[in-house]
Structure 1
């Protein structure tokens, strides 16, 4: 008879993944502190990262203030802030190179 597999709640997995995302965190030591195999924790992180990446590829419409839309001097940069489990990515890009910015962001979010 094979031993049954243990199952873990989504909240527990999220807690372990969050601990691993902290700067300087050791996945092996965090896994050990929860009596888990490090390979299992790595799998949870991969699955979580994949799900996050799928969600990040959605189109998000941004409202443009009326004053900014009518003013040519309102902003000469594209400013984007992207949340990631390992930190925040901030991008400032000149508006005259918007196509290059779109290509950069597309590659970054893959």
Structure 2
């Protein structure tokens, strides 16, 4: 007797796949947790990741991530800067901070506390 139930598979957009693969690549992320958060079987997500590594699937589109850029050191300038300068912006408020370079460790502690 033929079954009347049709076997349907869920389909996901390339953007959705790329987002899920990118989330799995975040530090401390668990593939199982990311899959459950999106209501997707973890085996499917593992396959997407494998395809992405092989260059055949959705590649992660990372936005808003930190990108380290190498800075050229000016020729003839071997002295360390006298101060650390930072500009903070939040809405219409801008704050400029100058901190002595000799107290860089204290600046790091202050910055960590500020960002909590």
Q: What's the TM-score, normalizing by structure 1?
A: 0.45
**Larger Rg computed on CA atoms:** 2
Q: Which structure features the higher share of helix residues?
A: 1
